[in-house]
Structure 1
Amino acid sequence: MVDGAALPLTGWAVHSIAQHKQPAKTRRDPLTGLLRCDAYTARARRVLARHGDDTAVVMIDADRFKDINDGLGQAADDIVLASIAARLTATEDGLRPT
């Protein structure tokens, strides 16, 4: 027979392991594969510290993106986001410092 305390302790152990693995999963957006804000900021800081004045940071804003979501729905904006991400990552190697 299982001790009454064993089940809650097992549950907490599983929860703790899941929480420990969670940050690795959330470093990238599941739809686009791009780094999320915290991971991007950490990477940008490392690159800037290493390369300083030889580095440029580019911010990209998708104009009228809200209009896509409002007019065509979330499925359409998911396609647009994935397309933008694919284009960014296709040129990513060309943008890295040597």
Structure 2
Amino acid sequence: MSIRHVVSWKLSATDPATRAGDAAGIASRLEALVGVVAEIRSLRVGADVVGGDNWDVVLIADFDDLAAVARYQAHPAHQAAGTFIRSVVSAKMAVDFLVP
């Protein structure tokens, strides 16, 4: 079994161009962690295409176990990405679940 780590964010900006740039900034920073943080087994980031009350950006990443998730979260490169993300979002939700 492995762990699937899912995080969604609501962006703070209301201007469409700023929102698009912030979503792209989140995606590029998280995607850059692949190959840097050894614990990542797979990682996908995407911006919502529907709008409305949906969350704006989602991360879906797979890890071997909860200890690997913890090492990923503590990694300095992840911490740096998190600094940017926290600066452009108004809310976050996360779920970690077992994947057979």
What TM-score do the two structures reach when normalised by structure 1? 0.28
Higher strand share: 2
Higher helix share: 1
| Higher RCO structure, 1 or 2 (CA under 8 Å, sep 6+) | 2
What TM-score do the two structures reach when normalised by structure 2? 0.28
Larger Rg: 1
